[in-house]
Amino acid sequence: MGQRSVIAVGGSTGAVEGLKTLCAGLPPDLAAAVLVVLHVGADGRNLLAGILDGLCPLRVETAADGQSVQPGHVYVGPAGHHLLVVDGVVRLGRGPRENMARPAIDPLFRSVAESYGPAAIGVLLSGRLNDGAAGLADLKRCGGVTVVENPLDATVPDMPFGALQASEVDHRASLKNLPSLLATLVGEAPGPRVPVPRRIALEIDIALGRPCLSGTISAMGEPVALACPDGFGPLSDIEADPPPRPHCQVAVDEAIRVALRIVEERAVLIERMAEDARRMNRVKSAGDFDARAGELRGYADVLRGAALGALP
């Protein structure tokens, strides 16, 4: 029946010492890959992998896009990129910040939930605010096992507390007991696969920076009267369990987002005009509107490609 094959770990303020304790206690024959996201600034120096490598019996490295995820390896998310796994391959995303962070923890948890389902384990350590709570709930929804550091022991208990409030977490553990708990969980046979909500795939695409039409995002969440602090695009609150999590509708960085948003909104408007024309049996007008909307979608693709190509 196999066994659980991936452990996703997230943390923020106060989590470095916890990660050191966790990595030092992992067994050298651990038959699972470990992926780690720690909140760091965009200009961070990616020092964490080197620190953990000196303590951990497994190989620890800063994750690189396109790597195959292998058991017995620890992959640490680099600064300025979301860390995700798609079909067993590391993917680094430059989508908008989530919970004011990139890398953020929620995208990692969602991606392992989609790719591994019941074979995934999610672990949330010390940190401020509530990043990781929604992603851990999604991982459990997809059949995975969820673990939080005992908030009574955590340096900063906000994240573990938030996860406990957002879903029924399977285990809470002290840092001292966490390595042995994970080794036990890895050795257990996972349950059956369950359907992955379509929303999770959409949120993964957003974190990766893939094209996501404004209309698609709006259809899955309510617009909120706020603009994305990264690129000033409109935000939508994607419908799911608490906590709320607004998502930018644009998914690329800097000023080109503004132009891209305008073009995409114009395309959505003209597509609606085409639908209205069809309902009124104005076939020629509908065709003209469809052609114009197609042109605008093409312009949007060019803008998106230019923006992504300009990113560091």
> Residues 5, 39, 81, 115: which is the catalytic one?
39
Q: Is 115 a catalytic residue?
A: no
Name 51's Cβ contacts closer than 8 Å, sequence gap at least 6. 16, 20
SS3 content of the chain, % helix, strand, coil (to 5): 40, 20, 40
Query: How many CA atoms are closer than 13 Å to the CA of 104, on its beta-carbon side?
Result: 29
Question: Tokens 């993917």 sit at which residue?
Answer: 91
> Residues 73, 82, 106, 131: which is the catalytic one?
131
Query: Would you state the structure tokens that stand for residue 274, as one six-digit string?
Result: 């085409």
The partner residues of 36 in beta bridges, in order of sequence, read 9, 76
Chain centroid, CA 51 distance in Å: 24
Cis before residue 243, ω within 30 degrees of 0? yes
> Residues 12, 126, 214, 236: which is the catalytic one?
12
Q: Is 205 a catalytic residue?
A: no
Q: Could you give the C-alpha distances from 238 to 163, 225, 268, in angstroms and in order?
A: 18, 14, 19
Q: Is 39 a catalytic residue?
A: yes
Query: Would you state the structure tokens that stand for residue 49, as one six-digit string?
Result: 């992998």
Which amino acids are annotated catalytic?
12, 39, 131
